[in-house]
Each structure stands twice: as structure tokens, then as C-alpha cells.
């Protein structure tokens, strides 16, 4: 809600579709937040085998990359299309990797199941936005 | 929505009220996002006097501090109550400072008006959460 | 080195001592980096008991808080002294908490020993800078 | 110095060259810090024309992207080679874009000249590391 209002009040033109941009930024913020809590929940779990270590690591990478991608997209005007595109592509990789990893634990950990969903939604939003970029 | 689901799936107990924690984290993420776009919108504006420089600076500080506070609260279990409290207090200062600065430009800039509101809401949520902490 | 050069090329006056500011920012960046690697090394270790979970959590909080404090100090001019002071105080708490936790594992983990040292150095630099602030 | 010590104390094997990894992470942290101060110095300057707005925007993007890339590389073990590679590629774009923009102002602003150098060094380190990745 705030995201849409803020983009609508921005004085500059952009070649990106504002509705799609808003949806992507909101998906990025939700995904970053889900990954941060998922990493913490994995740390608190009983079964701390090597596999959960890998899940925490992909969570942390995905949280950092989604947060940075949301910021780059929030500075969407100007001449930075190449940077935004490359960052979105890195984000697609991070969301795919984290979605795959969390899905492996979805049956045992509700937090991994929800986080995997947030990653899939975010990956798709990034792909949709990339498809509209020149 | 994702924030609430994620906290509810977390395996650990917490002494914090989950509904209030959720509301605070969501307010922090909204405020960080509003400040990031407000800084960019201020950069794009025509009147780039020294006062807008100050507004951009408080926006950037508030965005970084809110994002970090959201992360610290997302790792809310365990023994880190003192760290969480000190970080929330820093966040109250950042939101107050940025809310005051943006309010000065609210009549001329819609993005500053919305951002000031996001800062006030976030400051209040942080104060409410602080009031429940031992 | 870069930190000193950059502060010396900044056009604005500041009431803070530039040599001390530089030392603090460098300590913050080193500490954030040490905490990020320490968390990852703890994840890779064999003994992943609940205590290492607590160490990872304090590492992650300290990394985020130090990184944000470095940014706030890098925007050290202007009217934000109250925000900088509150953020430095939160950072002192984070470094103390993480230094204490890492010290518990210093005998078994070289990465915890080095990280504890980085936390102590950073905590002291933050306290020294705070002592000069009005 | 701390970066090298921390990587050397990490218990896991990595296919990356540790000396090159250390150099890249240090270049990323220096570049992120230079960009953060450069943005603030640009805000403080007298000539706040639209061109400086573009410089600040590329500084902020580059600071966020370099900081995130340093974190991803600090979690360099495990199965995340694809994510690390994509994030390094985004970082090459960000450093190139910011180096180009800062170079335009290097004659008038010492902070832009130093920042452009930090961007070039960082871009090269990222390219060198990418060249060694499978």
C-alpha cells in the first residue's frame, strides 16, 4: 500500500510499469523478511544437521539479495537500467536456489514451506519485470 | 501477512507479544521502503537546495536503521533483549528525526507527506513494543 | 586508507574528530565482516548445538548493526547527532553481546577468537567516539 | 587483515582461491564505504544540479550492491556458486556504472575521483574472481 503510494508520488517518469514495479518490490520485501525469519527458525530447530546449515546459508543470501534488489528498483529512474537488470537476474538465482532448498524441508518445517512460497512468488515477479525491460 | 505467518511458524517461545511484534516489523519495512523512495524522489525534484540534502540524509539514515531493526526483531528469541531494546531506541530517534524533516516539506512534496506518516506510524510501533519489554 | 581519504575530501565541516571517526568506521567494517564470516564458519562446524545457534544469532545481529552504524557515521554532517549517538549506543550493546558470546567458544574455534577481538576493538572505538560527542 | 584471518580460520574447504577471495571482499568493502561517503559529499556540495543527483543515485546503488556481494562471498562454501556468480556479475555492472559517473566529476570533486578509483579496483577484483569460477 505504502509502496504504491510512494511510487505514485515520485516526480520522475519511468519506462517501467508502476503496478508491476510495486508488486515486485512488495514481493522482494516479503521474501527478504520470510528468509530472515526462516534462518532464525532453522537455528532454533532441534535437527541441526549439515542440511539445515545449507538452508540457513541460502536464506541469508536470499534475504540480502532481495533487500538490495528492492532498493535498486526503488531508484528506478535515470540511467541505471543495466544495473537493475543484472541485479534482478542475480535475485532470480537467489530466489530459485532458496526456494529449492526450503522446499526440501517443507514437510517437516512449516517456516520452510511458507518461505519457499515467498521465494517462488518473488522469483516470478522478478522474471515478469525483467520481461518488460528493454 | 507473510510476517505473521512466519512468526507463527517459528518453533521458539518469545516473551514478546507476537501480534505487536508483527505490526512493528511491518511498520519498519514500510518505513524503510518509504524513506528509500522519498530520498530518490527528493533527488529528482527541481528544488535541490541544501534543505533537500538534509531530507535525503535523514531518509537514508532512517531506511538503514529501520531495515536493521526489522532484522534484529526477526531474531527475537534468545538472550538478545538488551540489543533489541537499544536498537529500537535508536530507531525511535531515526523515525522522529526523519518524520520532523519530511513534515517540513509535506506541503510541497506528496512523497514527503506520505513518508512522514510512515515515520510516525513506525515510531509509535517501536515505542509500543519497547513499553512491553522487561 | 580509503576511509581516511574519503572523509578528508568531504566538503563539510564536522564537529567530530576525523581521525577518530575514521578509526571507528574502519573498526565497524572489520567487525561486520568478521561477524558475517564467523556466523558462516559456525554453520559449517561439526558441533551444532543450541549454543552455536546463539552465537550465529548474535553474529548476525552484530553484523547488521555495525554495517548500519558505519553508514550513519559516514553521513556525519548535518543535524543528526542524536541519531548517530543512539545508533552508536545500540552498537556498543551489539558488540558487547557478540564479544561475550564468541569469547565462550574462543578456545575451540579460532574464528570465534578473532571475531571476539574484532568486537572488543569495535566496542571500544564506539565508546571513544561517543565520549567526544556533545 | 581481519578478512584474511577470518577466511583462514573457516573450517570448510572452498574451490575459490583464498587470497583472491580476500582481496575481492576487501575491495568490495572499500568501494561500498567510498560510495556511501561520496553520496553524502555530493549532497553537501554547492552545485546540486541534476547530474549530481545521478551521481548520488549510482553511488547508493553501488554501495548496496557491493555490501551484499561481500556478504554473499563471505558465505562462499556450499552449493551457492551460481548465486555468487550472478551477484558478482551485477556488481561488475554497478561498479562500472558508478566508476563512469564519478569519473565525470573527478576534476571538480576529489571525493568523486577517489570513489571512481575504488570502483575500478573493485570491478577488476570481481572480474578476476569470476574468471576463476567454474
**Best A36, A37, A43, A71 residue to mutate vs chain C (most C CBs within 10 Å):** A43
Q: Is A104 exposed, middle or buried (0-12, 13-18, 19+ CB in 10 A)?
A: middle
Query: In this predicted structure, what is the pLDDT of residue C66?
Result: 98
Q: How many structural domains is chain C composed of?
A: 1
Is the pLDDT at D91 greater than 80, yes or no?
Answer: yes
Mean pLDDT of B11-15: 81
Q: Say yes or no for a CB contact (<8 Å) between D44 and B60.
A: no
Q: What span, in angstroms and rounded, lies between the C-alpha atoms of B78 and B12?
A: 9
Query: In this predicted structure, what is the pLDDT of residue C48?
Result: 56
| Interface residues of chain D, partner chain B, Cβ below 8 Å | 39-40, 43-44, 48-49, 52-53, 56-57, 60
Q: What span, in angstroms and rounded, lies between the C-alpha atoms of B51 and C99?
A: 40
Query: pLDDT per residue over A64-89, tens digit each?
Result: 999 999 999 999 765 688 999 999 99
At D117, is the pLDDT very low, low, confident or very high (cuts 50, 70, 90)? very high
Q: Which three cell numbers stand for residue A56?
A: 540457513
Query: In this predicted structure, what is the pLDDT of residue C77?
Result: 66
Chain A hits for C43, CB-CB cut-off 8 Å, are 53, 56-57
Mean pLDDT of C117-125: 98
Give domain status of residue D7, yes or no. Answer: no
Chain D hits for B43, CB-CB cut-off 8 Å, are 53, 56-57
Q: Which residue of D has its CA nearest to C119?
A: D2
Q: Say yes or no for a CB contact (<8 Å) between D40 and B57.
A: yes
Give me the domain span that covers residue C88.
Answer: 18-132
Query: pLDDT per residue over B106-134, tens digit each?
Result: 999 999 999 999 999 999 999 999 999 87
Query: In this predicted structure, what is the pLDDT of residue A13?
Result: 78
Query: In this predicted structure, what is the pLDDT of residue C21?
Result: 94
Is the pLDDT at C117 greater than 60, yes or no?
Answer: yes
Give domain status of residue D106, yes or no. Answer: yes
Q: How far is CA B67 from the centre of its chain?
A: 7
Query: Which residue in the set B10, B44, B115 is minimally distant from A12, CB to CB?
Result: B44
At B15, is the pLDDT very low, low, confident or very high (cuts 50, 70, 90)? confident
Assign residue C28 the CATH number of its domain. 1.20.1270.360
Q: Are B29 and B7 in contact (CB under 8 A)?
A: no
Helical residues (DSSP H) of chain D, grouped into ranges: 2-8, 18-44, 50-74, 81-103, 110-132
Is the pLDDT at C61 greater than 90, yes or no?
Answer: yes
How many CB pairs below 8 A link A and D? 85
Average predicted confidence (pLDDT) for chain C: 92
Give domain status of residue B11, yes or no. Answer: no
Query: In this predicted structure, what is the pLDDT of residue B50?
Result: 61
Is the pLDDT at D128 greater than 60, yes or no?
Answer: yes
Query: In this predicted structure, what is the pLDDT of residue D15?
Result: 79
With CA atoms as reference, report the closest residue to A116 among A131, A101, A132, A94.
A101
**Residues in chain A where the model's pLDDT stays below 70:** 1, 46-50, 77-79
Query: Which residue in the set D6, D12, D111 is minimally distant from C33, CB to CB?
Result: D6
Give domain status of residue C11, yes or no. Answer: no
Q: Say yes or no for a CB contact (<8 Å) between D56 and B43.
A: yes
Give domain status of residue D3, yes or no. Answer: no
Residue identified by cell 538503514 is B64
Q: Which three cell numbers stand for residue D36?
A: 556511501
* Share above pLDDT 90 across residues of chain A, in percent, rounded to a whole number: 75
Give domain status of residue D9, yes or no. Answer: no
Q: What span, in angstroms and rounded, lies between the C-alpha atoms of D56 and D62?
A: 10
Query: pLDDT per residue over D61-70, tens digit each?
Result: 999 999 999 9
Is the pLDDT at D126 greater than 80, yes or no?
Answer: yes
Query: pLDDT per residue over D5-44, tens digit each?
Result: 999 989 887 778 899 999 999 999 999 999 999 999 998 8
Q: Say yes or no for a CB contact (<8 Å) between A75 and B12.
A: no
Distance in Å from the first CA to the final CA of chain D: 27
Q: Say yes or no for a CB contact (<8 Å) between D90 and A83.
A: yes
Q: Say yes or no for a CB contact (<8 Å) between B6 and A37.
A: yes
Chain D hits for C5, CB-CB cut-off 8 Å, are 114
Q: How far is CA A26 from CA A18, A42, A103, B34, C53, in A?
A: 12, 24, 22, 12, 30
Is the pLDDT at C71 greater than 80, yes or no?
Answer: yes
Q: What span, in angstroms and rounded, lies between the C-alpha atoms of B56 and D60?
A: 12
Query: pLDDT per residue over C44-59, tens digit each?
Result: 876 656 678 889 999 9
pTM of model > 0.90 = yes
- Dihedral sign from CA coordinates of C41, C47, C48, C50: negative
Give domain status of residue C63, yes or no. Answer: yes
At B73, is the pLDDT very low, low, confident or very high (cuts 50, 70, 90)? very high
Average predicted confidence (pLDDT) for chain B: 92
Q: What span, in angstroms and rounded, lies between the C-alpha atoms of D21 and D25?
A: 6
Give domain status of residue A5, yes or no. Answer: no
Per-residue burial over B94-133, b if 16 or more Cβ lie within 10 Å, else e, is bbbbbbebbbebeeebbbbbbbbbbbbbbbebbbebeeee
**Best C49, C66, C68 residue to mutate vs chain B (most B CBs within 10 Å):** C68
Q: Say yes or no for a CB contact (<8 Å) between A37 and B10.
A: yes
Amino acid at each position: 500500500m505504502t509502496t504504491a503510494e510512494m511510487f505514485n508520488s515520485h516526480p520522475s517518469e519511468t519506462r517501467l510499469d508502476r503496478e508491476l514495479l510495486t508488486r515486485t518490490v512488495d514481493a522482494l520485501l516479503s521474501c527478504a523478511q520470510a528468509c530472515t525469519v526462516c534462518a532464525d527458525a532453522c537455528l532454533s530447530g532441534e535437527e541441526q544437521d549439515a542440511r539445515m546449515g545449507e538452508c540457513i546459508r541460502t536464506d541469508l543470501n536470499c534475504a540480502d539479495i532481495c533487500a538490495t534488489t528492492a532498493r535498486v528498483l526503488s531508484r528506478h529512474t535515470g540511467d541505471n537500467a543495466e544495473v537493475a537488470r543484472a541485479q534482478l537476474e542475480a535475485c532470480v538465482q537467489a530466489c530459485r536456489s532458496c526456494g529449492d532448498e526450503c522446499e526440501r524441508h517443507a514437510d517437516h518445517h512449516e517456516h520452510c514451506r511458507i518461505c519457499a512460497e515467498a521465494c517462488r512468488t518473488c522469483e516470478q515477479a522478478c522474471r515478469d519485470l525483467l520481461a518488460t525491460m528493454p
